[in-house]
Amino acid sequence: MQPVAVVPLNLGVVKAFVIKGERSILVDAGNAGDARKIIQGLTRLKINPQDLSLIIITHSHSDHIGGLAKLKEVTGARVLVHQLDAEALVAGINKDIIPTNFKGDLFKRFIEERPKIKTVEPDILIDGEHDLQKYGVAGKVIGTPGHTAGSISIVLENGEAIIGDLLMGGLILQRFPSYPYFAYNLDLVKESIKKLQKLDLKKLYPSHGGPFAFHAVKKRFADC
List, in order of start, the domains of the chain with CATH numbers: 5-220 (3.60.15.10)
* Pairing assessment for the beta strands 52-56 and 160-164 based on DSSP bridges: unpaired
pLDDT score at 188: 98
Q: How far, in Å, CA of 161 to CA of 38, rounded?
A: 20
pLDDT score at 2: 83
Q: Hey, which residues does 16 pair with through a beta bridge?
A: 9
pLDDT tens-digit readout, 14-50:
999 999 999 999 999 999 999 999 999 999 999 999 9
What's the predicted TM-score (pTM) here? 0.96
Q: Residue 3: pLDDT band by 50, 70, 90 thresholds?
A: confident
pLDDT tens-digit readout, 87-145:
999 999 998 899 999 989 998 998 999 898 999 999 999 999 999 999 999 999 999 99
Strand ordering across the sheet containing 79-82: 5-10, 15-20, 24-27, 52-56, 79-82, 124-126
Report the run of H or E that residue 218 belongs to, with start and end. Answer: helix 214-220
Q: Hey, which residues does 81 pair with through a beta bridge?
A: 125
DSSP state of 171: S
Q: Is 82 helix (H, G, I), strand (E, B) or coil?
A: strand
Alpha-carbon distances, residue 206 vs 7, 58, 96 (angstroms) = 12, 10, 19
Percent of the chain with pLDDT over 70: 98
Q: Residue 170: pLDDT band by 50, 70, 90 thresholds?
A: low
pLDDT at 173 over 70: no
Interval 178-199 mean pLDDT:
96
pLDDT score at 186: 97
Q: Residue 165: pLDDT band by 50, 70, 90 thresholds?
A: very high
Q: How far, in Å, CA of 89 to CA of 95, rounded?
A: 10
pLDDT tens-digit readout, 45-68:
999 999 999 999 999 999 999 999
Helix axes 68-75 and 35-44, enclosed angle (nearest 10): 40
